[in-house]
Chain A
Amino acid sequence: MFELLGIPPQALFGQLLLGLINGSFYALLSLGLAVIFGMLNVINFAHGALYMVGAFVAWYLMQYLGIGYWGALILTPVVVGALGLVIEKTMLRHLYKLDHLYGLLLTFGLALILEGGFKYQYGVSGQSYPVPAALSGGTNLGFMFLPFYRGWVVALSIVVCIATWYAIEKTRLGSYLRAATENPKLVQAFGINVPVMITMTYGAGVALAGLAGVMAAPIYSVNPLMGSNLIIVVFAVVVIGGMGSIFGAVASGYLLGLMEGLTKVFLPEASNIVVFLIMVVVLLLRPAGLFGRER
């Protein structure tokens, strides 16, 4: 059996697969960020906090209403999306005329408030959320033990990413959206209700964060800090992919998951900075990101 730098191939395949699983979360979250930035020009710093809220909503549903994972998978994005609508309608809306920085500051403040509130209520140890019965257990792939649930996460995230990309790039609604970003006044003149479309887009973007939260709940403990641990990496992913590029966000999400997986084999201590190193290199060579266009 051949070995690569002293690492047996089984271990390598295993780590690559794990990287792909983490990449699924990066892709789902950066997708939502990219949609919001692309359509609204808002850097949504509350994304991590809304992902955390998503996990908590799933936990509430289970704890107080007895609704399990599958129900939560449908209901949570709706709840978090509705929260997004409220945020857009009551707060974000008033900032569009101002510099991007104001949207960033507002959402950053929201993130702190959400996190602080949950921390006050639930502490930091987190709540336990079980893996759904239908997906418990796993299978031995020969080179690693793959829990069924992790396989499901990869499959579901790929489906959601493709569906979102398709909706924006290939449907009529998507074309309205893209047009509205380029020239809102003109699109409105054609009789399309642009403000409602923008609100719905923000809602959909954060609903994706809520969905990622439900998917994460059985893997990580549901705790108020889970979003802030992840959001910085996800921002780096979006920057690497190219701000506002849907395809870029998804592709670089998976790619960076893989890179991180590899680093965990060769130099585990560096695995939390590798994403940022790549970001620096990409920004130096291609300031608009791997898949972005210069504006």
Chain B
Amino acid sequence: MFKKSLLAGVALSAMLSGAALAEGLSGDKVVIGVLTDLSGVYADVAGKGSIVAVEMAVADYGGKVLGKPIEVITADHQNKADIAVNIAREWIDTKGADALVDLVTSSVGLGVQGVGGEKGVVTINSGAATVRLTQKECTATSFHWIYDTYSLAHVTTPSVVADGGDSWFIITADYAFGHSLEADAKTVLGELGAKVVGSVRHPFPSADLSSFLLQAQSSGAKVVALANAGQDTINSVKQAAEFGIVAGGQKLVALLAFLSDIHSIGLELGQGLLVTTGFYWDLDDETRGFSKKFFDKFGKMPTMVQAADYSATLHYLKAIEAAGTDDGKVVAAKMKELPVKDAVIHEGKIAANGRVVHDMYLMEVKKPSESTGEWDLYKLVKTVPGAQAFQDPAKSGCALAQ
């Protein structure tokens, strides 16, 4: 009890006068909270693998920062924003959490980021897609690591249009993420002069998407785009093959697909699909080295979300070392000063709105004959520089970037 109120007192005074207390570590240790989906639809995209990635980063850093131990705590937020926000508050108030990472699912990400902003605790989102995290709702201590809906729309869409795909039909998951991805894609298509001949919104989640695919098929659009995620995307791709959409000459584009999704779909059905990603294990020696170690621990190759958790944790620890404190606001400022440089993101910088700007990759799913192993799934089509892939911070509407 005494310890709890002491910690709460420390946290409170840290909030009131960040700068005055900005020496040393609160609670004599650094506590990193991994808040993720351990049981639901995003458990393969993030989940346990995210915890493994954060633990790897802590171990690779040496297990100590400023000579003090680093503690990793974890919880399942079940993709529910209210649960996530409660856990975040409890962690900050009673367990002395200094940073919250992963935060997959857009509603969770926005909710927890709000708490972090209010309490001056660093929140690093590597799982959620919505670009709103770095727009109006940005905070002084919030970060968005590996991708967002803006970059998904701005990497995949132009190259498909350039390839002759000038009429689109969009199949959208009927919730916040789908709407935001659809809107971003439509903006890009408008700018490029491509036509959107139709769109349809399906309930989330939907096991049977054939009816929406049939509408897309009969629309005569050259491109059928999927603005959904996870299981919905897997079923869409499977059923599109069944109904001969690709065989009939239409191009299928998954605006968001993770490595785990493609692994589940398989190359037979997935081949030729274009995917935008911020990380792929087989890019160079560094990514292969990190991924091999991850694979040995976890038995699966890392998704971009899991890889981002590794990169974010390392960067956070480096910033603490450089700042000499774990005070949220001071560390956040330091994180934005330092370049992001590790096995996952080789060259990145963090904009004032918390957006990590780095290269994005347009990938094509390999044909079965081109693949040499279970995880040999992508070939690189194009590297898109960060400045082109991500939104200009000055235009994001984030007050910190004005």
Contact = CB atoms under 8 A, between A and B. Distances in A.
Q: Do A and B come from one complex?
A: yes
Contacts of B41: 124, 225
Interface string B213-245: 011011000000000001100110011001110
A229 B205 contact: yes
Contacts of B260: 123, 125
A226 interface: yes
B234 A261 contact: no
Contact of A264 (B212, B231, B235, B248): B212
Interface residues of A, number: 41
Given A125-B263, A221-B264, 7 more contacts: A19-B211, A123-B44, A150-B210, A219-B238, A220-B238, A268-B211, A271-B203
Nearest to A226: B207
B78 to A, nearest CB: 13
Interface stretch (B21-29, B265-273, B328-336): B265-273
Interface stretch (A8-16, A84-92, A205-213): A8-16
B249 interface: no
Given A126-B264, A128-B264, A269-B174, A15 B211 contact: yes
A14 B218 contact: yes
A125 B44 contact: yes
Nearest to A122: B44
A149 B242 CA distance: 9
Interface residues of B, number: 41
B265 A269 contact: no
Given A124-B44, A125-B44, A269-B203, A261 B265 contact: no
Nearest to A262: B211
Given A119-B39, A149-B242, A264-B211, A272 B203 contact: yes
A95 interface: no
A83 interface: no
A125 B261 contact: yes
A68 to B, nearest CB: 15
Contacts of B64: none
A201 interface: no
A64 to B, nearest CB: 16
10 contacts: A10-B218, A14-B214, A18-B208, A19-B211, A124-B43, A124-B230, A127-B264, A221-B235, A223-B231, A271-B203
B202 interface: yes
Contacts of B210: 18, 21, 150
